[in-house]
Chains A and B, each alone.
Chain A
C-alpha cells in the first residue's frame, strides 16, 4: 500500500512539475537561446533588416496629427480606403485580448475601457474576451466572436504565428479587423496599430547601456519569453547594437516577466561573475527587481534600461541611477477604438498605423514621475483626459 502510494505520489509530483511553472506564457524555463558566455548567438528568425532600418529611421521622424494626443498621431502615414466598411452606428465593437496578465496590459485595458466610455454615444456595446495568455483559447475566442454580430473586431494576439490563421479567418468573414500591440503574419486586417516597435525599443536601451559602460564589459540581457514578435525584435535590435559595441554578453535569460525569478537570475550572475557592467531588458516591468539584486549584493547598480513604469522611475530618481526608459506606450490601447469608429464611419486610416514611441531619459524624467499614482502604473498611459482618471487606474 505504502509503495503504491509513494509511486502514485511521485507520478503526481512529476506531472505537476509541468504545471507548477505553468504561466500564461509558456516559455523555456531558463536560458537556452545562448549559453552563458557564448555571446549573443544567432540572430532571431524574426529579424528583418529592412524593418530594422525603417524603425530606426522612424525614431527621428516627425509624426502627423495632434501633438497633445500622441495616440492619434501617425508616423509616415499610408492611408487605406475603408468605404466598404461604412455602416450606421451605434456599433457593437468586439475585442479579443491576449491576456490581462501583467500590469502593462492592465493599465492598457483600463485606458481602452475609458476610451469606450468617452465614445459611448457611438458604441452601443463593447465585448471583451480575455484569452488568459493561451493561444488555443484565443483562437476559440475569435471564432466565437465571429458569430456574435460584432461590427468590428479588435485583436491583440497572444503569439504571432499561431494566431495568424484565426485572424485570417476573421478577415474572410468581411468584418473590419484591427490588430494592435503584437502583430500577425498577414496583411488582411484593415490596419495594424502599434508604436514604432521592438527594434526601436531594443536599440535605444542597448545603445545606452553599451555606451555608458566600460568597453568589453559584461552585459546581462533579460528577456520575458521567446516567440512574440515585439519581444523578439527588441532583442534582435539589441543584439546588433551589442555586437557592434563589442561588449561581452554573458547571459541571455528568460524571466517570464516575474520579479522573483528576475532577482534570482541577476543574483546568480552577480555571484558567478563577481560584477556585471550592464543590464539590458526587453521589458522594464522587472527592472526594479534587477536593481534590487545589485543593491542587496552591496554592489553599484550598472547602467540599465527600464520602462515607463512608475516604480522604476521613482527608484531611478531616488537612487540617481544611470538609466533610460524606452517606452511601449500604453496609450496605444486608445487607438484601436478610435480606428474602429473611423473605419465604420468610412474614413481613411493609416495601415500600418505607427504611433510615436517617446523615450524617458535623465532630462525629462521629472515630467513623467507622478508620486500620486500606484507603483505599477505606466506613465505613458495618455489617460489623464479620460473619464474616471485617476481612480480607475488606482
Chain B
C-alpha cells in the first residue's frame, strides 16, 4: 500500500484534486470583485455624477445604475456562495469516496492475510483501525490541496501589500516565520510520536475489551474480573499519561505561536515608529501595515493548523497502513479471480515443510500421495503436525518448501475461487456465522451472485447509483440481494431441491432431530407461509380430537377454553385470553401498557389484582424472609427472585400501614399486579384465587377482547381457529397447557405431539421452520456438537472433489462410529482425508498415514 497519505491521495484522486484547485482559483476573482463592488456602489453610483452611464451599449440613469450594481452584487454573492457550496460538497464527497476505498482496501487486505498472520493480529485491534482511526483521514482528503492553495495565496497577497508599503516592515512581518517554521515542527514531531503511541494504546484497549467480552464466561468462572479490571485500568492510566503529555506540548506550541505573533507588532511599533519619527514613513502607512498584519494572522493560523493536521492525519494513516502490509500477503487476484479450474488427479505432497511458528505446529519433509477418489485417514495426536498437513492439503496454508499438488495444479498458485469450491475443509475449531441455520447450511455455496434480481423504476435507479459509486471507489459490484446459492454445485435444481438435500444430510449426521426441536421452539410468521399455518391448525384439531378421545391424555393437558379457567396457565393468560403480539414483552411490562391499565381500571379488576399481588407478596416475604440468599431455594421459582424480596417487603409494609399517605406509587402497584399476573394457580397453591375471582377473570375475557384486542394490535386473542404468531410452533400445535400437577405431563404430551406430527407429515416443514432459527452470535445458541455437525453438513453440501475433516467424529462411541460409516458412504468416489488423533477411528479407512512430531512415521498400506 502507499506508504504516505499524500501518495495515496495523489494516486487515487489527482484529477479531482486538480479540479478542486481550479475551482478554488476561480473563486479568487469573484471574491476580489465582491470586495470591489461595494466601493463602486458608494463612490460611483451613490456619490458619482455625469449620468446617464453607458454600460455595454445600454444607457443607465443614477437609480437604475445603482440597481444594476446592486443586482450584480447580489448575483455575485449567490455565485460566490454557490461556488463554496459546490466545492464543499465536492470535497466532502471526494473524502467519503476515498475513505470508502481506503476502508475497503484495508478489509480486503485482512482477507488476503495468510492464516499464520492471524496469530499476531486480533480483531480487537483491526476493527478500530478500519473504523475510527481512518475516519479523520477522509475528512482531510478533500482539503489536502485546496486549503494550502487558498490560504497560501491569501498570505502571499497580503505579504506583498506589506512589502509594498515598506520592505523593512515586510521583513519585520515575516521575522518570526523562520523561527516558527523551525521550532514548531521540532516540537510537533514529539507530539506526533506521542499520538502514535496513543493510537497504539487505544487499539490495545479495544483489544482487551473485545477479548474480555468474548471471554466473559471464563472471567466469571475463574473470578478473574479483578485482574481484568486492573489490567484495563493500567492501560487507561497509560492513555491518561500520554494524553496529558500531548496536552502539555500542544498548548506549549500554541503559547509559542501566540507569543511570536505578538512579537511582530512589537517590531512594527519599534521600527515603524522610528521610521515615522525620522520622517521616512507616514502614520497612515504604518496603520495600514498593522491592519494588514491582522489580516495576515488568519491565513497564517490556518496554514499552521493545516500543518498540524497533516502531521496528525499522516501519522494516523501510517500507523494504520503499516499493519496491513505484511510481506507475505496473498496477491489480490487470489481473492477476486472468478474463474475456477476443476481439480482432478491425485493429491500429492512432495518434500513439504511448514512451520506455524511454534513447537508442535511444524511438519518436515512430508511426501504423500492420495489417489483420486480414495479415502485416507491421517492419524496423529495433537501437535504431531496432523492439522498442519490437512490445512496444507486444503490450501489454507502454504508450504515453506516443497509443493502440494492436485493433479498438475500447485495449490499455492490457485485462487480462492478454485480452492473454496473444489475443496471442503472442516477443522477442529469450526466457525458458525451469526445468522440463521439456513445461512450457515448454504454458506459453502455462496461464492458469487448467480441470478440477478430484476429491478424496475426507482429500485433500478438506486441500484445503478450503487453500482456507479462502487466502481468509483474500487469496491465490488456484487449484488447482495441476488440469489447466491449455487444450486448446481450442490447438485440440485432449485431451492426446494437444496432444502431436501440439506435435510438428507442433516439426517445423515443425525442433526435433524435437533433442528426439529429448534423448529418446534421457534416462532414463524404465518403471513410468509399460510399453507404451513393451515397445516399446523389442522394438526391442532387432530390433537384436540385425540386428547378428547383418550382419557389418559386428557388428564395431562388443560386445553384453552374461553369459558373455563385454566389452572395450569398464568393468571394473565387467563384474564386476557390473549398474548402480547411482541413476544419480547414480559409480564413485568404488561401492567404498564396503557390499554391494559385502562381495561383493569374499567373492569375494577385492578384493585382485586393488587390485593392478590399483595397477598402473594406477603406470603413470599413470610416464607422466604428467613431463608438465606445463597440457599438457592427461591431460585427454582421464577415467580419471584431473591433480589426482589426486600422490595416486596417494603411494598407490603407500605400497603398495610395505617397511614393513608404516601401510599403505594404507580410503579409499586404495577409490580403487585405483575406479580399476580405471574401466578399459575395449580403450581403456586397460595390459595389466593377463589371461585368468585376465577369467574370474574373468565367473565372479563370478553371485555378484554372487545376493548383491547379488537381495537389495537398489541395483543393477539387465543383463538382455536387462528395461528398465534407470538407463540412457538409447539404451543400452537398444542392448544393448551400441559398440566403442572401431573407427573411428566410435558414429556408425555410431547410424545403425543411427536406422533401426530409424524403421522401428518408435518415433521419436515417443522424442520424447515427450524432452518430459520437464529443461532446467536457465532452460533452461541447451539451446543458445540451441534455447531460441528452443522459445519459438517455445510461442507458436505458443496460436493467438493476433495473433502478434508479434521478431528470430526473421531470418538469410539457408537454414534461417531455410525457417522464415520455414513460419511464414507456419502463421500464414496471422492477424495476424502480424515484426520484423527487416535488409530482406533482410522482403522476403518482404506489406508492410513501416521504422523509423529511433524514427520511421517509410517506410510502404512496395510488394510485395516
Q: Are A and B associated in one complex?
A: no
